[in-house]
Chains A and B, each alone.
Chain A
Amino acid sequence: EDQVTQSPEALRLQEGESSSLNCSYTVSGLRGLFWYRQDPGKGPEFLFTLYSAGEEKEKERLKATLTKKESFLHITAPKPEDSATYLCAVQGVGGGNKLTFGTGTQLKVEL
């Protein structure tokens, strides 16, 4: 059974204070690892897909990296508008297109 564990559960940063969110996973053959952002009362917004160890993707202040056991979402010089819950999900071989989600990291960026 695929499993995803995210840490920390919650993170409070000052504006401009860079940090990283962790996503550890176990899956029987990784098809893809996904990062989403979810604002309160909204559906998840797609950020990145990573397919193989060593892959990196960037979007504005966000950079996602992948190893064989975990993924990191690095946030550089965050702004208050980056405050949200960040969700990690994996798609395993043999599971069709199903996603298994972690419980998320709730990020709050303060002025």
Chain B
Amino acid sequence: GAVVSQHPSWVICKSGTSVKIECRSLDFQATTMFWYRQFPKQSLMLMATSNEGSKATYEQGVEKDKFLINHASLTLSTLTVTSAHPEDSSFYICSALAGGAADTQYFGPGTRLTVL
């Protein structure tokens, strides 16, 4: 149980384009999901908290107009990187809060974004 998927697993795009990443909880409903980014050899940095049916809460220093988050259902959250630039290249990982053990986050497999 508590399986989280992400799509795509990797994406390459040109500078200036937008990219959408999907995060799905497959076998449970998640009112809260989180988006992280991870640079090589570094730990996970929380970008934003996504709550179903409401606006996302962004961490300090994260541009909300650049990283658009939508959590339209109890099993799906999306992260759109708008007008991507090479510095946005990173490993993006989502997690979902499981209902049974409400404080445990289960993570997706991650999405590798490369902006040329």
Contact = CB atoms under 8 A, between A and B. Distances in A.
Interface of A: 31-32, 34, 36, 41-46, 49, 87, 91, 96-99, 101-104
A43 B110 contact: yes
Residue of B2, B43, B91 with highest tally of chain A CB at under 10 A: B43
B105 A97 contact: yes
Q: Is the interface of B mostly helix, strand, loop or mixed?
A: strand
Give the size range of B's interface with the partner. Answer: 20 to 34
B67 interface: no
Interface in B79-108: 91, 93, 95, 97, 101-108
Contacts of A104: 43
List 3 A-B pairs, minimum CB-CB distance, nearest first.
Answer: A43-B107, A101-B43, A103-B43
B107 A32 contact: no
Residue of A43, A97, A103 with highest tally of chain B CB at under 10 A: A43
Nearest to B9: A41
A44 B103 contact: no
